[in-house]
Structure 1
Amino acid sequence: MATGSTLITGLAMTSTPTFAVVAREDGQAADIESAQQVTLWYRNYDSPAIRALLDLALRKTPEYGPYLITRSQEMNQGRALRELSNDNGHAVQVANVATTPERENNLLAVTIPIDGGLLGYRVCVTTPQMLSRFEGITRLADLRAGNIRFGQGRHWPDTQILEANGLKVVTHTRYESLFDMLAGGRFECFARGVSEVVYDLDLRQDDGLVIEPDLLFTYPMPSYFFVGRSDMALAMRIQLGLERAIVDGSFLKYLAHYFTRPLEELQLSNRRVFQLGNPWLPGGEKGISEDVLQHMKVRIQLGDKAPPVPN
């Protein structure tokens, strides 16, 4: 196995699988045929933050040899998890999704929340025409009385969480279709994590989509990297790389680099907070240092200034 750390460049976001250019520390191109190919689920590959964190973890483990990250074919979350469960590495090898007990039983989870837990902080993507529907909402009961419907992926654990808290949910298997359904009035709120929503809208470039300015929904929902159960070496490499990044401070720099902008733009401290329960949460956020959690930008932004609203 080759040594020497790798850098990934040329990560174009295209609709077909794309190979990264692998380089060594000495600036020479590494032998692509000898590099470890890591196929990342396309939704994660298209997210600059998630792709950069996987790159960071692999770069922190040079003893495993050179690597390249490729984009999987486009598939919904349910299929991606089935392919991982079936150990079909030709289709996908790594996916970052919210954790559930079933996922942790069927797959290998790298139990470090990739965004420090921010995925469980959610705001509404809506349309300018529907913004008035959210005015005067101070309780969950107001959402129910106002028939505010939430759009979510059919295979996402958020769907069950929202339904368990008495909210109406409209689902679809395909993430991209949910934006069309929102524009068509099928629901009023496409609930997106604060760590992803700004990048979502940057990618969409759609003036017909806006972020509702006043509400914030929170529930405990760590988001992990998952691999197939036979891919123990890859799971160990990612785990080791992230732990090294936590220890040397580069994970904290990663959080600041990718999430300072959305946290500032969303003005979380000025929002009304709705705390929802997650009855399917596995045994807590494991494997991440207290320093990272304590320094998360969202903790600084929210502080104690935004008490939860009543049900």
Structure 2
Amino acid sequence: MSIVLPLAEPAPRVRSAAHDAQRLGKRLRHQVGRAIADFGMIADGDKVMVCLSGGKDSYTLLDVLLQLQKKAPVSFSITAVNLDQKQPGFPEQVLPDYLRSLGVDFHIIEQDTYSVVSRVVPEGKTMCSLCSRLRRGALYARAAEHGFTRIALGHHLDDMVATFFLNMFFHARLSGMPPKLLSDDGRHVVIRPLAYVREEDIAAYSEAKAFPIIPCNLCGSQENLQRKQVQRMMAQWDRESPGRVEQIARALGDIRPSQLADPTLFDFLGLGHRDAAATADAQRWLAGDPHDRPHAGNDA
């Protein structure tokens, strides 16, 4: 007579990992939902084009949006779009197979931007700028042709903070990567629903979900990028001063023009100006024209 042993209970470590994954998924859904609400990213009837690269960020974006779509207070459609840039060795069946398994509407754009970038950019130079312009053009064209009202990108909180420092350190301007953006030609609304999500959480979620990650062998392999310098700085902050990156992200949403120095955003010229007082011409100030200097009294 055979003895049937009872099923062994899952080890506490396994249960803990599953529980942690559930908590992480709940936190991500809450953060994405809050970002969508705070910035009015998605409205009833929107056609959302989710740009899927095959990396952890865009996989997470698609996964969370599909979950939120089921319980959202508004009705919207989701289409995943990938740009096959014809990089050598690119596993072209990975994304279609994955998306078919989900039953998600999707489209693969085939455009050989890799050859263009490789031909135009000198060896050893960074390719990101040209590559991103070509990629953006292809995705915008697809959105216009098929009437998508929202273009969803997988940029997260770390990307937004890093872009702020990139612009400040290397371009001398205070600007960043907004959660919601109108394209330069006014035809497309770009949204970043992961605006409140940390990259480390995305990495953990991606690992728990076992997404079929496709590594980027074009720009991702270049070590001399300015962005990598900023990322190393932020990683050091996370180690030595936890919470600093989140604090900076909150500061990006609390801008006070009167405390900065941009006269196009705040009327410094008019601040404290007396109606009866004459204002000297700026060019004469710069030249130090003695005629602009006030007279202390009458000449003897």
User: Normalising to structure 2: TM-score of the pair?
Assistant: 0.21
Larger RCO, structure (CA 8 Å, separation 6 or more): 1
User: Normalising to structure 1: TM-score of the pair?
Assistant: 0.21
Q: Flag the structure with higher strand content.
A: 1
Q: Flag the structure with higher helix content.
A: 2
